[in-house]
């Protein structure tokens, strides 16, 4: 039981990190960024490339080396997200929603098969694999590495939440999600703030990618697809556009999968996710923490 809960939280932390960017981008420009999962994949590949290049110097998989690679990958994926928004999404921002959605699907394929061209279609094995001694908490096996990864994920989520709630640009981001035009009247460079949102969301996805590569050991160019769908599900569970909702949704989805797998068998895991998504969309389309409507006319 404790084991199932821990497994759920561990996987859920990855979902939450990716879901945050998904939900934030949706909240601010109402775009379902289907390429978001692929940014996670790029993070994993970026980490792979750097660790391979540094070669033996990081043998043994020290956490410090991994942290450096993590930060560099976050910067790289963050900038990639900014460029993606600039070249693919900004031109269609005022176009009908469907155009933007198709653009996002196109961006997703472009990134996936572009990566396959550059890095090859076969899965790569991460040069650093985290495996180590396990702690026994109640009756669960918990590795130190898992704790470190969850710790990093939580730290990133807290940092991002502080950014959204406490900083000038975070406040502007929330304001833009409500009324971009009014933000122009306040003198907000709306495009600039949107770029920041893409940077931060993409950096979080990149971080999740590096950690997943290091933990699960392999990376491949399609690895972003499924996690993208799961992050979307997590975002919808929490209420898309809602930042704490994305974290809650990610953890809940992780727990649901963990228990679902235990009861129904591993082959049902992904089916389970989508059943949850469909049920939720039917029963409570606004998600658990979905937007309350308090506007007065």
Question: Residue 71 or residue 191: which is nearer to other proteins going by CB?
Answer: 191
Smallest gap from Cβ 86 to other proteins, in A, equals 17
- Residue 136 sits in the site that holds other proteins (CB under 8 A): no
69's tokens: 């690679």
CB 57 within 8 A of CB 133: no
156's tokens: 């990133």
Position among 189, 275, 278, 279 found at the interface with other proteins (CB under 8 A): 189
Smallest gap from Cβ 163 to other proteins, in A, equals 15
How far apart are the C-alpha atoms of 256 and 4, rounded to whole Å?
10
Position among 56, 96, 187, 265 found at the interface with other proteins (CB under 8 A): 187
What would you report as the CA-atom Rg of the chain, rounded to the nearest whole angstrom?
19
Position among 139, 267, 282, 295 found at the interface with other proteins (CB under 8 A): 295
How far apart are the C-alpha atoms of 233 and 287, rounded to whole Å?
10
- Residue 171 sits in the site that holds other proteins (CB under 8 A): yes
DSSP 127: S
With H, G, I as helix, E, B as strand and everything else as coil, classify residue 136: strand
Burial class (CB in 10 A: 0-12, 13-18, 19+), 90: middle
Smallest gap from Cβ 175 to other proteins, in A, equals 5
- Residue 178 sits in the site that holds other proteins (CB under 8 A): yes
- Residue 270 sits in the site that holds other proteins (CB under 8 A): no
Smallest gap from Cβ 192 to other proteins, in A, equals 9
Question: Residue 213 or residue 245: which is nearer to other proteins going by CB?
Answer: 245
Position among 68, 106, 121, 179 found at the interface with other proteins (CB under 8 A): 179
Count the site residues for other proteins by CB under 8 A.
20
Question: Residue 62 or residue 178: which is nearer to other proteins going by CB?
Answer: 178
Half-sphere exposure of 15 (CA within 13 A, CB side): 33
Question: Quick one: residue 152, left, alpha or beta (phi over 0 = left, psi -120 to 50 = alpha)?
Answer: alpha
- Residue 296 sits in the site that holds other proteins (CB under 8 A): yes
- Residue 24 sits in the site that holds other proteins (CB under 8 A): no
Q: Which residues pair with 70 in a beta bridge?
A: none
CB 205 within 8 A of CB 88: no
Distance of CA 207 to the CA centre of its chain: 8
- Residue 194 sits in the site that holds other proteins (CB under 8 A): no
How far apart are the C-alpha atoms of 220 and 121, rounded to whole Å?
7
- Residue 166 sits in the site that holds other proteins (CB under 8 A): no
Of 73-92, binders to other proteins (CB under 8 A) are none
Smallest gap from Cβ 103 to other proteins, in A, equals 24
CB 28 within 8 A of CB 90: no
Site for other proteins, rule CB under 8 A = 168, 171-172, 174-175, 178-179, 181-189, 291, 294-296
């Amino acid at each position: 039981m404790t084991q199932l809960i821990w497994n759920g939280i561990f996987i859920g932390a990855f979902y939450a990190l990716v879901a945050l960017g998904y939900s934030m981008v949706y909240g601010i420009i109402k775009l379902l960024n289907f390429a978001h999962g692929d940014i996670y994949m790029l993070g994993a590949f970026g980490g792979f490339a750097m660790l391979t290049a540094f070669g033996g110097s990081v043998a043994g998989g020290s956490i410090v080396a991994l942290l450096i690679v993590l930060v560099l990958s976050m910067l790289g994926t963050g900038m990639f997200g900014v460029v993606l928004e600039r070249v693919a999404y900004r031109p269609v921002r005022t176009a009908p929603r469907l155009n933007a959605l198709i653009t996002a699907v196109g961006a997703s394929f472009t990134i996936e098969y572009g990566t396959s061209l550059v890095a090859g279609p076969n899965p790569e094995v991460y040069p650093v694999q985290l495996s180590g001694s396990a702690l026994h908490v109640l009756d669960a096996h918990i590795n130190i590495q898992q704790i470190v990864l969850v710790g990093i994920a939580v730290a990133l989520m807290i940092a991002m939440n502080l950014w959204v709630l406490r900083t000038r640009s975070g406040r502007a981001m929330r304001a833009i999600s409500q009324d971009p035009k009014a933000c122009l009247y306040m003198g907000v460079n709306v495009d600039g703030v949107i770029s920041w949102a893409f940077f931060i969301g993409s950096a979080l996805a990149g971080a999740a990618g590096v950690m997943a590569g290091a933990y699960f050991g392999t990376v491949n160019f399609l690895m972003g697809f499924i996690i993208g769908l799961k992050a979307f599900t997590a975002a919808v569970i929490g209420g898309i556009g809602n930042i704490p909702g994305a974290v809650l949704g990610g953890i809940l989805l992780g727990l649901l999968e963990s228990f679902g797998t235990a009861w129904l068998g591993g082959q049902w895991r992904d089916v389970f996710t989508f059943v949850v998504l469909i049920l939720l969309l039917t029963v409570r389309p606004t998600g658990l923490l979905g937007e309350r409507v308090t506007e007065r006319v």
